[in-house]
């Protein structure tokens, strides 16, 4: 639609200053109001079957019945709009629905601010300072609570039959307990899958009191109920009993311990002056060409450091069955398998959103914000690098399981 120059010149008559066009009483806001009222009038004419000022069709009792004024809130502030009425109250306008008080994506703006980690009070201040909108905490809560419906649908959606890789991890979030009213460090569990096409997909999130194998088993069962029949490689963070929980639900899954977590755990036993040297020697273990060579490097590490840090090598030996699976793969793609770096990047996005919060009042409040962070994470690119080479190796190593 093109507006002629003549109409523009007529509209701009009397506009001398920027505020005459953009101010609270400027042309743009007035034009917006008048156009909306014009469209509402046209909707009522279509509903009644006759134009304003004309006679109603014979036998029709419903007529125009004055108007009401409602205040709408939008990105350019609050403004009044006159809404026409009919006698029998059967008119349901599409432009501004009954009960609607917000337009111009103001709900999306509130959700966007919430996703950025702003508190309810911060959102109130932002909307007031930037748009001159006074919104109540209850309104903000109602808008963000609508996200929970989306979360429930997302959390219950059907999943693929097979995922070549699923990475499991947990992070800690402070949430106020409803019974004791004390703030507790609760675990937020996240499962990040990689599809056959090499696309990252967050399969779900769960909040519980503690990170434990028993709870992880319930997560595995939920994933099975949502359609997953097979996981080729499950990458975990070293939690005791976790491999058993995975293989109880997916008996053929190859369980791979996250090397990054294991290295971090090892360095916790070291003094600062030795950390660099210990890390370099550990790199010789997981950087070896084969599992046998890695075992030899572990023996050499133990011989060198056992006198000073006796607990490191035994920790690697206890986890050894879950350490070595990635040695069967080409070095170029091992980083996709043996580390949870992929999920660590997701955790960074989540932590960035929650870092301004001292604590959350409820589990639902934490769920809303974490889900919005996940949604943002998935928008930034979901393809795994070097997946073509990995896919070819998966097809060879796992055969029918990968093709199923």
Please report the DSSP string for 11-32 in residue order: HTTT--SHHHHHSTTSHHHHHH
Indicate whether this model's pTM tops 0.75: no
Q: What is the pLDDT of residues 274-289, one digit of tens each?
A: 999 999 999 999 889 8
- Six-digit token pair at 190? 């996240």
Q: 368 near 114, Cβ under 8 Å?
A: yes
SS3 content of the chain, % helix, strand, coil (to 5): 50, 20, 30
CB 326: neighbour CB atoms within 10 A?
24
pLDDT (tens place) for every residue of the chain, 404 residues total: 566 677 667 667 777 777 767 777 777 767 777 777 777 788 888 888 888 888 888 888 888 888 888 877 766 667 788 888 898 888 888 777 777 676 666 667 777 777 777 777 888 887 777 666 677 777 777 777 778 888 889 999 999 999 999 988 888 888 887 777 788 888 888 899 999 998 889 999 998 876 677 888 888 999 999 999 999 999 887 667 778 889 899 999 988 888 888 888 899 999 999 999 999 999 999 889 899 999 999 999 999 999 999 999 999 998 888 888 888 877 656 767 766 566 777 878 888 888 777 788 888 888 888 888 888 888 776 787 778 878 888 888 888 898 87
What stretches of 22-161 adopt beta strand conformation (E)? 64-74, 77-86
**Closest by CA position to 119, among listed 365, 347, 375:** 365
- Report d(CA 318, CA 298) in Å as an integer: 12
Q: 265 near 257, Cβ under 8 Å?
A: no
Predicted local distance difference test score (pLDDT) of residue 314: 93
93 exposure class (CB count in 10 Å sphere: 0-12, 13-18, 19+): middle
Q: 245 near 213, Cβ under 8 Å?
A: yes
Kindly report the CA angle at 258 between 257 and 260, in degrees rounded to 5? 145
Predicted local distance difference test score (pLDDT) of residue 77: 66
Instruction: Give the helix/strand (H/E) hosting 323.
Output: helix 320-323
Count how many residues are written for the chain. Answer: 404
206 Ramachandran zone, left/alpha/beta (phi>0; psi -120 to 50): beta
Cite the DSSP H helix spans in 169-228. Answer: 213-225
CB 248: neighbour CB atoms within 10 A?
14
Predicted local distance difference test score (pLDDT) of residue 93: 80
């Amino acid at each position: 639609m093109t507006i002629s120059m003549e109409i523009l010149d007529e509209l701009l008559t009397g506009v001398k200053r920027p505020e005459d066009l953009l101010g609270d009483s400027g042309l743009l806001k007035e034009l917006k109001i008048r156009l909306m009222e014009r469209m509402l009038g046209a909707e009522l004419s279509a509903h009644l079957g006759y134009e304003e000022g004309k006679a109603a069709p014979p036998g029709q009792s419903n007529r125009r019945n004055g108007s009401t004024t409602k205040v709408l809130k939008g990105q350019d502030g609050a403004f009044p709009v006159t809404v026409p009425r009919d006698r029998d109250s059967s008119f349901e306008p599409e432009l501004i629905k009954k009960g609607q008080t917000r337009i111009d994506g103001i709900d999306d703006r509130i959700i966007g601010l919430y996703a950025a980690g702003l508190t309810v009070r911060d959102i109130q201040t932002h909307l007031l300072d930037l748009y001159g909108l006074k919104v109540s905490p209850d309104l903000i809560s109602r808008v963000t609570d609508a996200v929970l419906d989306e979360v429930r649908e997302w959390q219950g959606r059907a999943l693929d039959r097979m995922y070549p890789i699923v990475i499991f991890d947990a992070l800690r979030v402070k949430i106020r307990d409803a019974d004791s009213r004390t703030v507790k460090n609760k675990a937020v569990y996240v499962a990040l899958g990689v599809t056959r096409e090499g696309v990252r997909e967050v399969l779900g999130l769960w909040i519980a009191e503690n990170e434990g194998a028993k709870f992880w088993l319930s997560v595995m069962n939920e994933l099975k109920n949502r359609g997953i029949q097979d996981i080729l490689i499950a990458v975990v963070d070293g939690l005791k009993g976790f491999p058993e929980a995975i293989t109880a639900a997916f008996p053929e899954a190859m369980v791979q311990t996250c090397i990054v977590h294991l290295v971090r755990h090892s360095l916790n036993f070291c003094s600062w002056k030795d950390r660099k040297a210990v890390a370099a020697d550990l790199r010789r273990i997981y950087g070896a060409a084969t599992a046998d060579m890695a075992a030899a490097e572990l023996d050499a590490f133990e011989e060198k450091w056992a006198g000073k840090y006796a607990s490191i090598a035994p920790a690697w030996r206890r986890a050894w069955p879950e350490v070595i699976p990635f040695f069967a793969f080409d070095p170029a793609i091992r980083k996709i398998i043996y580390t949870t770096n992929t999920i660590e990047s997701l955790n960074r996005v989540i932590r960035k959103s929650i870092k301004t919060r001292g604590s959350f009042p409820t589990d639902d409040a934490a769920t809303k914000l974490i889900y919005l962070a996940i949604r943002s994470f998935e928008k930034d690119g979901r393809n795994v690098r070097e997946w073509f080479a990995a896919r070819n190796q998966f097809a060879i190593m796992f055969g029918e399981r990968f093709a199923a």
